[in-house]
Structure 1
Amino acid sequence: MLGDGSRGAVIEMTLAKLLYMSKSTQIIGMSATLGNIKDLQTFLKAENYTNDFRPVELKEFVKLKDTIYEVTPKEENCFTFSRLLNFKYSSAMQKLDPDHIIALVTEVIPSHSCLVFCPTKKNCENVAAMICKHLKDDFLQLKEKEKSILLQELKASGNGAVCPVLSRTVRYGLAYHHSGLTAEERRLVEEAYSNGVLCLLTCTSTLAAGINLPARRVILRSPYVAADFLKRSQYKQMVGRAGRAGIDSTGESVLILQDKDKSMAQSLVSAPMENCFSNLMHDEGKGLLSLILSLIGLNMCRCVAEVEAFLSGTLLCVQQQRVCVDQTLTQTVHQSIELLREKNLITVTTESHSQTLQVTRLGRATFKGSVDLTHSEVLYSDLSKGLEGLLLNSFLHLIYLVTPYDMVSVCKPDWMLYFTQFTLLSASEQKMSAAVGVPESFVARKAAGQSVKKGINMAVVRRMYLALVLFALLKETNLWSVAERFQMSRGFIQNLLSSASAFCSCVLHFTEELEELWPFKALLVELNRRLSYCVKAELIPLMEVNGIMELRARQLYSAGYKTLTHLASADPAALCKNIENLFRKQAEMMVASAKMLLNEKAAVLQEEVDDLLMTPLDLPTELFI
């Protein structure tokens, strides 16, 4: 993950700071798909332990037409004949399933588990539905009670709604798994698969890394992820899911190939692992700029020499000849410091032949708010401009200001939907939209398919569209209905909500460092609570309790447990009686969590009281006469 774009840059920054500040912290890194271990070993000043032991043997295969070949990288053509696929397809079925996925999965399910990796999210759903159409009715009787409970839980997580595809496939012991599902749906599907309630998942490549869901057989529907050919590390992560220690004696993978992909697949299975490179220079050195700003802001480095000394302990320094081809690390540091100075994030003062580095107010706000450097100036401008005519009779303006900039690029508005939602806004909300750069006339012309004049900032237009999605979500608090209305996946809507909540917190910390933006401090605290829980205001106190989701909060509120105090003083037995599908252990945990929260809030209030009592009052003597 160190080599994974901006996320890798953040990990490298964190590790470098830990190594710089603490000599006793132990860092353990693990990887099954890393080529240049020596670089990481040098960066982390680590010992290296390597072992090729695998508790369950893995056999790799590829399928071409109706023939299965075993992967033998040491052989000349990498593939050795294994067997012919045993299947009997009708002509109609051959047309429906030309890759013989049904034949491959029915060789192992339902007695063993199976994962089918698909190139796209839509393909996951289509493949799961196709397999179900050709399974025997015997599958419906297996673990029927457990599957019924799973469907009830999925329905509860969707506030009464369940995906039509899952509703059909779960009855057969199948499900799909991708980012279009909500976090709660993914958790339920993963648990059901781990417990054997589901015997097959169709999934995207994201399931291969970080989630422990092994299988007897792993099938790769295609050697592509979206339009890109698989990398060696991606392939190894996927096939590495095969083989369940303690359950299966063997694991096997099958990569489905077309003739045109055969030569590339031969290179894939025999290629060495990809190397991991520093991402501090990713996206025009944004990671390095953020790192230097935080080092100056945290007083870890006060001059250029100290910055260079710190950077000598980064992965970037280890790999500088390969990552910084055109210049030395010293040149890169000086260039980065000059860029930060030009952005008004730091000041550089020359005294006695040395340069002292300090953060400006904007720089402090940027690093304390964890705001992306490329957005800090725009954010300050948007907030300052917003103060001139801040709309306070609606959340829309505030929501727009905390809509994440980095999600704008993936937004493709449906112009008719955009116009429809725009017309539902009040006059003041439409005026606010025009003020930020999205007038009704522009949206109307786009909806009518007409050309529009240049001069409209499309990033602002897309950001307002995402703000309308969030605005609808806060008003209705029903993720499913909003997803359906805007024709977006519920997983994307949930991701947008969580990103907006996180960015709202960043903006709050950003404004706390800039006195001129003081009105936002109080306003954003309440909005952050709304975005964090996305429920009716009266349910928020209950949602703070560990383990309580929206449906449970509504049940508790309807049963009379309307506050933390009510819940903390509740009898777990009475709770189980009054709340549907609530087990005693869950009730006890909820009551205990509510009590803990109450105690924490009481302790904070007591501290405030103690501080007030200890503060000397400078009052006129006349008051005491």
Structure 2
Amino acid sequence: MESMRGLLHKTSVQEAQERQAGAVGPPPLAGQKRSWSTTLDDADTKGLPLISGATTTSVSAPNSQGPVRFQKAPLFSSPAATRLSASKIVSLNASEDPSEYTQRRVFAATPSSSIDDELDLAHPVYNLPPQLVHNFASLGIKQIYPWQKNCLKGPGLLTGAKNLVYCAPTGGGKSLVADLLMLKRVMEEPETKALLILPYVALVQEKVRWLRTVVQGLSATLDPEASEKRKASSIWQTRPDHDSIKVVGFFGGGKIRSTWQDFDIAICTLEKANMLINTAIEDSSISQLRAVVLDELHMIDDDHRGYLLELIATKLLSLEQPIQIIGMSATLPNANLVAEWLNAHSYETRYRPIPIEEHLVCDGKVYYVGSNGASAQKHLKVDEISKGQVEPTRWIQGSSHREFQDPVLNAVVSLAHETAMMGYGSLIFAGSRSICEADARLISRVMPQLDELDSATMGKRMDLLSELRSLSTGADPVLEETVLYGVAFHHAGLTSEERDLIAAAYDAGTLLVCVATCSLAAGINLPARRVILHNARMGRDFVGPSMLRQMRGRAGRQGKSPVGETYLCCRQDDLEQVLDLMYADIPEIASCLNTENKRVQRAILEVISVRLATSQESLTEYFSNSLISYTHDKEFVKDCLKSGLEEIRDLGLIVIDSYSTFAATQLGRAIVASSVDPYDGVFIHAELTKTLKAFVMDGEMHILYVFTPVQDFGITLNWQVFRNEMDALDESGLRVLGFLGIKPTAVQKLAQGVPLRENTPEEKELARVYRRFYLALQLRDLCNEMPIHMVARKYDSPRGSVQTLAQTCQGFAAGIIKFCEHMGWGIMAAALEHFSDRLMAGARTDLLALAKIPFIKSRTARVFWENGYRTVGAIANADPKELVLVLMQAQPNKLRIKGKADEKYEEKLLAKANVISASANRLWQVQLQAEMAEE
């Protein structure tokens, strides 16, 4: 074991803590809030402990008579790694009525295809190609559940004649139904297209990978002319399988600029799907669309983005062409109403292949609540629990460690530890990023010591830590402490690369505990044997019933765990609200279109711009197809349309001629094309109009400010940083400040602690300018190849937030370029296009060509440049083994491990170098062909 110790080195944070301990006293507090973390209320912070305590680890194994003691020292000897022990969990043998959970252990609940041959995907009733059936079988899907069969055989569904709205629990296999119907439309009607719409980028990326595996080897029938067009398309120039079914992802921050002609199946975020449909309606290519899948349909009443789902569905219903709409959700209480709106067959099931047992934990006592959403015979009540009239099933003993004096935290740690000791994974939901990190740290300190792990597990975790350190951002300091113990956290403060590595390692069983924020419950796919809720709050507020269902639905996974369990851990003070939440009905969804949130104005402008409605009568008819007409009375809808129409007319976005015909103005069309809200579009137009009169072109700050999104990112400005960056601006940058109305004297006062005033409309607009400029400074550094983690440290922001800013700005920049093109500002569009490329590459102008090659980002591109590989052709002609040496230079944070790990590392780099070489060769050939064509 001593040799293994020598292979690891301390993290920079640990070394700093040791130096600080020797110089000024004790180390920093584990779980101490970073300045950018979400602020917690007293109820959530009083349970966060100080790091110190015992050097002995106690592991409480299930069914054991007592804890097993490990006395060996950990690999990391810093003060932050002092070992703690989890509390023992005692079974009280409380009687429980037989449940589906307990019965499932005795007999199988799912019929097989030997009993019902229609559960076999190869059955003629589904008419699926043998290759597709084979692909599903290779992914472990050889038969379907009875509910899936019954759903698919609904009237007109397999032929595409009828729409479908269906509900199934999370983990019940609902996605497969939509996938089969969508694939049938594309395969049975050649040269047609389908859209699959998901709410989050992470889900889009995951679905793209999955569906590409599903359609592997399936050919799309194309006529010769269409095939040649596809081959000439930019997205397929680097891919050899031109005639197979093409699955393309559309999301903000994507590097590939795909178009309608580049796909057979598009998997999109809400915003990208709406933009695609608008464009296709305008150029009449919408006639190729045959199927649209609306996942997470319950989000239609989300205040921020739900209206986009309603806009999309309403447009599709208004088109006079056959489009099969497939809507699905795990939580849709008024599914029949939604089905009526979409003219769809409705189907609902509560079947879940993996049963879930639900529990409540309060003051260390574990109470059985119910199974698979079915409540226990009697609802738990506050007074009965307080008086001891309800018998708990288990008891989590108190802890002697002061870190675990909070009973909620003690329960979370003990339950997670018990699950890991059984060899299963647990997913913990916490109310903020800081609680996520604190929980991960403390749980890692009760896990078995590193020298107790088997070599295979240790090797996998060391590989994961090595991968994290090899990222351009390096490894997060908290992950450095926790990963080797099988514990990690997952929240938006991490970069997407870090989150992907964590999710993959958890899914593979390398990590046994993952702590995530509640807000990511619907955006991640990390099933677990046990889901543990550290309170039921998101920030200060309690989550809603639908969100609670989403989180608890992550428990259990077919093929990995025979059962699932959920534990909601709460304080005595919160017990009444938590019980109300647990037993609350899921609220019925309704249209969120209204004039107050400005969504109706956006809807009216879009439909007039794409000319689906050009008069009062046609506008009224169009909105009769919208959900608002099914969830609100006629007078409400009439008033919304009247006031919304007047507002966008007053803004100069539409005109009404003498024949009462509606038409979008140039500004109105530009706003729709750029996918911004009408009021944001008017603000952008005013700013750009002013900019055109005095554009500061001898620097980059003005263009970068134009690229910065106008919406509020919820950022907190560090005014000292703002002042320092302002003082360092050159003459060009100072002129931009003056142009924007930012006064250096005001910034100096703000840096000294004077609060930013936002009382009047003028003060609010100026505050908006300050925030945009602060973000523009970050974009400037990113464009000049400063790594994300350095930008985050410099501006006191999470690394994930900086990365999200860069990705959001790429999409916003593309929208601004379209805005300028539609306004006839060609020169401005050209200037912005160049900076958009730099923003996407994260590099200066000289590296833009190299940055088009996969795996070559800003920092890596600069290393290639400095090693003499300054063109795509130079990389194309290089031996991949030579490229490995360059890639090694680009990863200075790589964990150096001798022997087999070293060989494995070089193998991974060689595989990456081969991809780089092949991609560079294809890009180079395209360049040569273009040069020959010009000659």
Q: Read off the aligned partner of 2:416 and give its amino acid letter.
A: V
Counterpart in the other structure of 1:544? 852
* 1:394 aligns to 2:699 (yes or no): yes
Report the CA distance between 1:475 and its aligned residue: 2.7
Q: Is the 8 A contact 1:35 1:275 kept in 2?
A: yes
Within the candidate set 720, 736, 742, 1:438 is matched to: 742
TM-score, normalization by structure 1: 0.89
Mapped to 2, the partners of 1:501 and 1:74 lie a distance apart of: 51
Mapped to 1, the partners of 2:618 and 2:834 lie a distance apart of: 41
Counterpart in the other structure of 1:32? 330
Report the CA distance between 1:471 and its aligned residue: 1.9
Report the CA distance between 1:587 and its aligned residue: 4.0
Mapped to 1, the partners of 2:803 and 2:521 lie a distance apart of: 22
> Structure 1 residues 88 and 289 mapped into 2: Cα distance closer, same or farther (>3 Å)?
closer
Within the candidate set 107, 112, 136, 2:424 is matched to: 112
Counterpart in the other structure of 2:772? 463
Q: Read off the aligned partner of 1:371 and give its amino acid letter.
A: V
Counterpart in the other structure of 1:526? 834
Match of 1:30, SS?
A: strand
Report the CA distance between 1:349 and its aligned residue: 0.9
- Provide Cα deviations, 1:413-470, integer angstroms capped at 9, x if missing partner: 2222211111011133122202211011110122223578986522222222222222
Q: Is the 8 A contact 2:653 2:668 kept in 1?
A: yes
* 1:370 aligns to 2:675 (yes or no): yes
Mapped to 2, the partners of 1:605 and 1:374 lie a distance apart of: 45
Mapped to 2, the partners of 1:571 and 1:414 lie a distance apart of: 47
Q: Which moved more, 1:371-380 or 1:553-562?
A: 553-562
Counterpart in the other structure of 1:594? 920
> Structure 1 residues 589 and 46 mapped into 2: Cα distance closer, same or farther (>3 Å)?
farther
* 1:52 aligns to 2:333 (yes or no): no
Cα RMSD between the aligned structures? 2.6
> Structure 1 residues 140 and 213 mapped into 2: Cα distance closer, same or farther (>3 Å)?
farther
Q: Which has the higher helix share?
A: 1
Q: Is the 8 A contact 2:357 2:565 kept in 1?
A: yes
Report the CA distance between 1:112 and its aligned residue: 0.7
> Structure 1 residues 314 and 554 mapped into 2: Cα distance closer, same or farther (>3 Å)?
same
- The percentage of counterpart residues that share the same residue type is 28
Q: Read off the aligned partner of 2:833 and give its amino acid letter.
A: V
Q: Which moved more, 1:21-30 or 1:227-236?
A: 21-30
Within the candidate set 645, 656, 661, 1:337 is matched to: 645
Report the CA distance between 1:369 and its aligned residue: 1.5
- Provide Cα deviations, 1:582-621, integer angstroms capped at 9, x if missing partner: 45554444344334445556677788x59xxxxxxxxxxx
> Structure 1 residues 337 and 96 mapped into 2: Cα distance closer, same or farther (>3 Å)?
closer
Counterpart in the other structure of 1:257? 570
Report the CA distance between 1:579 and its aligned residue: 4.3
Within the candidate set 392, 395, 399, 1:85 is matched to: 395
Report the CA distance between 1:92 and its aligned residue: 2.8
* 1:122 aligns to 2:448 (yes or no): no
> Structure 1 residues 417 and 559 mapped into 2: Cα distance closer, same or farther (>3 Å)?
closer
Match of 1:99, SS?
A: helix
Q: Is the 8 A contact 1:437 1:461 kept in 2?
A: no
- Alignment size in residue pairs: 598
Q: Is the 8 A contact 1:35 1:273 kept in 2?
A: yes
Q: Which runs of 5+ in 1 are unaligned?
A: 611-625
Report the CA distance between 1:367 and its aligned residue: 1.1
> Structure 1 residues 94 and 357 mapped into 2: Cα distance closer, same or farther (>3 Å)?
closer
- Provide Cα deviations, 1:313-337, integer angstroms capped at 9, x if missing partner: 111222122xx8xx34233223222
Q: Is the 8 A contact 2:723 2:748 kept in 1?
A: yes
Within the candidate set 151, 163, 182, 2:465 is matched to: 151
Counterpart in the other structure of 2:319? 21
- Provide Cα deviations, 1:515-568, integer angstroms capped at 9, x if missing partner: 3x3331111011111111213433332332345444554554455443333344
Mapped to 2, the partners of 1:477 and 1:543 lie a distance apart of: 15
Q: Which moved more, 1:214-223 or 1:493-502?
A: 493-502
Match of 2:648, SS?
A: helix
Mapped to 1, the partners of 2:516 and 2:504 lie a distance apart of: 15
Counterpart in the other structure of 1:486? 795
Counterpart in the other structure of 1:137? 449
Match of 1:5, SS?
A: coil
Mapped to 2, the partners of 1:479 and 1:396 lie a distance apart of: 19
Q: Read off the aligned partner of 2:464 and give its amino acid letter.
A: L
* 1:286 aligns to 2:589 (yes or no): no
Q: Which moved more, 1:7-16 or 1:167-176?
A: 7-16
Report the CA distance between 1:341 and its aligned residue: 1.0
Mapped to 1, the partners of 2:815 and 2:516 lie a distance apart of: 33
Q: Which moved more, 1:541-550 or 1:387-396?
A: 541-550
Mapped to 1, the partners of 2:751 and 2:743 lie a distance apart of: 13
Q: Read off the aligned partner of 1:78 and give its amino acid letter.
A: L
* 1:276 aligns to 2:580 (yes or no): no
Q: Which moved more, 1:364-373 or 1:586-595?
A: 586-595
Report the CA distance between 1:89 and its aligned residue: 2.3
Match of 2:567, SS?
A: strand
Mapped to 1, the partners of 2:340 and 2:314 lie a distance apart of: 12
Mapped to 2, the partners of 1:602 and 1:303 lie a distance apart of: 52
Q: Is the 8 A contact 1:63 1:69 kept in 2?
A: yes
Mapped to 1, the partners of 2:478 and 2:667 lie a distance apart of: 49
- Provide Cα deviations, 1:248-304, integer angstroms capped at 9, x if missing partner: 1111010011112222222222221122222222x7252222222222222222222
Mapped to 2, the partners of 1:139 and 1:307 lie a distance apart of: 71
Mapped to 2, the partners of 1:23 and 1:275 lie a distance apart of: 30
Match of 2:532, SS?
A: strand
- Provide Cα deviations, 1:128-171, integer angstroms capped at 9, x if missing partner: 11122232314773522221221222122234x22110101001
Report the CA distance between 1:364 and its aligned residue: 1.4
Mapped to 2, the partners of 1:451 and 1:479 lie a distance apart of: 29
Q: Which moved more, 1:492-501 or 1:544-553?
A: 544-553
Q: Is the 8 A contact 2:519 2:538 kept in 1?
A: no
Q: Is the 8 A contact 2:318 2:625 kept in 1?
A: yes
Report the CA distance between 1:63 and its aligned residue: 0.6
Mapped to 1, the partners of 2:483 and 2:578 lie a distance apart of: 33
Q: Which moved more, 1:452-461 or 1:415-424?
A: 452-461
Q: Is the 8 A contact 2:742 2:770 kept in 1?
A: yes
> Structure 1 residues 404 and 60 mapped into 2: Cα distance closer, same or farther (>3 Å)?
same
Q: Read off the aligned partner of 1:59 and give its amino acid letter.
A: E
> Structure 1 residues 345 and 53 mapped into 2: Cα distance closer, same or farther (>3 Å)?
same
Q: Read off the aligned partner of 2:677 and give its amino acid letter.
A: D
